[in-house]
Amino acid sequence: MKVLIVDDDRLVAQSLKTILEAEEDMEISGTMSDGADAVRQYGQLAPDVLLMDIRMKGMSGLDAAAQILELYSSARILFLTTFSDDEYIARALAIGARGYILKQDYESIAPSLRAVYAGQRVFGDEIITKLPLSKGSGTISSFGLTERETELLSAVAEGLSNKEISDKLCLGEGTVRNYVSALLEKLSLRDRTQLAVFYYKHK
């Protein structure tokens, strides 16, 4: 797995590089200190996962992620930051980031990178409590979803496309679209990102 590290604190970037290079399945494709550099060089370096800070001098991680995802829609971006501000979390989700974890939880960095590489979404425990969606308390089972609807919800939360869900659950793509629409209506949610947030808050 190739990982690109972007953090304007060079000491942090170098520390992350050292930590991750010790993992047998990880290769560091580069370290950068500015979001604009990440945008310019992302296509050439083609990392499997982009590990990026949010607050940086020059272009922020959020702005860089938005531009990269506009150019490369399949980019896997994991934000690693010291800030758990609700505004940052909401925008990271809206952009399409695959995860958001705090630097303080350094032991989770490598597992989180593997999860994002595998197509899953990852949020640190502290982040989940701040996800910008309020649908009451209780687990998913308390919302009256069928077993199939719960399977669909889980697949959407993993970031799978309709075709990938179709293949995974042996359903037609049209059926998957209908299920997703039904879930949005049943839970009074707006889009797939909110479905993912709902899943992680109530699983």
Cβ count near 185 (within 10 Å): 9
User: How many domains does the chain fold into?
Assistant: 2
Quote the distance between the C-alpha of residue 45 and its chain's center.
Answer: 20
Which two three-digit tokens encode residue 114? 């593997």
153-187 pLDDT, tens per residue?
988 888 788 999 999 999 999 999 999 999 988 88
Residues pairing with 78 in the sheet: 51, 99
135 belongs to a structural domain: no
141-157 pLDDT, tens per residue?
778 888 999 999 988 88
Q: CATH code at 176?
A: 1.10.10.10
DSSP string, 49-60: EEEE-SS-SSS-
Are β-strands 77-81 and 49-52 bridged in parallel, bridged antiparallel, or unpaired? parallel
Domain boundary among the residues 105, 128, 151 is at 128
Residues 148 and 93 in one domain: no
Q: Is the dihedral of CA 131, 136, 140, 146 positive or negative?
A: negative
* Contact criterion met (CB below 8 Å) for 57 and 31: no
Write down the H helix ranges in 72-146.
86-95, 109-117, 125-128
Residues 18 and 62 in one domain: yes
Q: What is the pLDDT of residue 167?
A: 94
Q: What range defines the domain where residue 86 resides?
A: 2-128
Q: CATH code at 99?
A: 3.40.50.2300
Smallest CA-to-CA distance from 98 within 162, 51, 56 is with 51
